[in-house]
A and B are shown apart, each in its own frame.
Chain A
Amino acid sequence: MSSAEQIEDLLQLRKMRLVSLVEGTTLLLIVGVAVPLKYLAGFPLATRLIGPVHGVAFVLYVWMLIQTVSMGGWSRAETARMVLAAFIPFGAFLNERALARRQSALAASG
């Protein structure tokens, strides 16, 4: 792998970590704040605001994951774990750590 390609891969992993954090945080805000506000306090505005943001972050995360995996170097188990974790609260934070480890390993190999 040339150094330009390595920089590009590192940048891709960094962007994925950021999107993963946004996806995970908005999911927690929906489950922990917006839904209780809607059903317990009768305040539906929070779900209307955070819901769409989470939707866009989720699509972006899935899109970037498929793009990264299509380049090769990912096992089926790793890919499945990265997809499944996106559906579970706090799962995205595990993904973010896994991506950070991958980023350090790639940086060390250069």
Chain B
Amino acid sequence: MDYLWLKALHIVAVVTWIGGMLVVAVTITAASGGRAQQETAMHSAVLAAVRRWDQRVTSPAMILVWILGIALALTGSWFPQGWLLAKLVSVLLLSVLHGGLSGRLRGLSRNQQPSPPPPLRYAAAAVVVATFVIVILVVTKPI
């Protein structure tokens, strides 16, 4: 496939994935507070909608990010370069965080574990910081 098409589709998948992860991260923080626990009807409807979006849109977008990203890296023959390796590690950590958020969301929708473990409380901030690092790495290619 043409490089520009690969790049465009990769960016679409990234935006969809990062946006979806932020929705899950914020929902988990909101649904875990003491007050939110009392508003159960709205709580479960919102959790179900976010979970559906995560399963049907955000998770497939993550897989597409990986497939298109690897295809792009092969097309550009960038493999041993430092910026790409650093970017790969950052995206792997984001994928791990997404797995944690997804599992947590499922636990919450089953009314388990009332408050999020400390690391997930900062998940939204971590997603923004990782996105910042990844974009700087890929645009400026500093190493």
Contact = CB atoms under 8 A, between A and B. Distances in A.
B95 A63 contact: yes
Contact of A62 (B74, B99, B102, B112): B99
A62 B96 contact: yes
B70 interface: yes
B62 A63 contact: yes
B74 A48 contact: yes
Contacts of A55: 66, 70
A65 B99 CA distance: 8
A43 to B, nearest CB: 17
B82 interface: no
A48 B92 CA distance: 20
A40 to B, nearest CB: 21
Q: Is the interface of B mostly helix, strand, loop or mixed?
A: helix
Contacts, number: 54
Interface stretch (A25-33, A68-76, A88-96, A99-107): A68-76
Interface residues of A, number: 18
A52 B99 contact: no
B100 interface: yes
A63 B61 CA distance: 13
A48 B67 CA distance: 13
B113 interface: yes
B98 to A, nearest CB: 7
Kindly name the residue among A5, A48, A59, A72 whose own CB sees the greatest number of chain B CB atoms within 10 A.
A59
Contacts of A69: 103
Nearest to B102: A67
A110 B63 CA distance: 32
B107 interface: yes
Interface of B: 62-63, 66-67, 70-71, 74, 92, 95-96, 98-104, 106-107, 110, 112-113
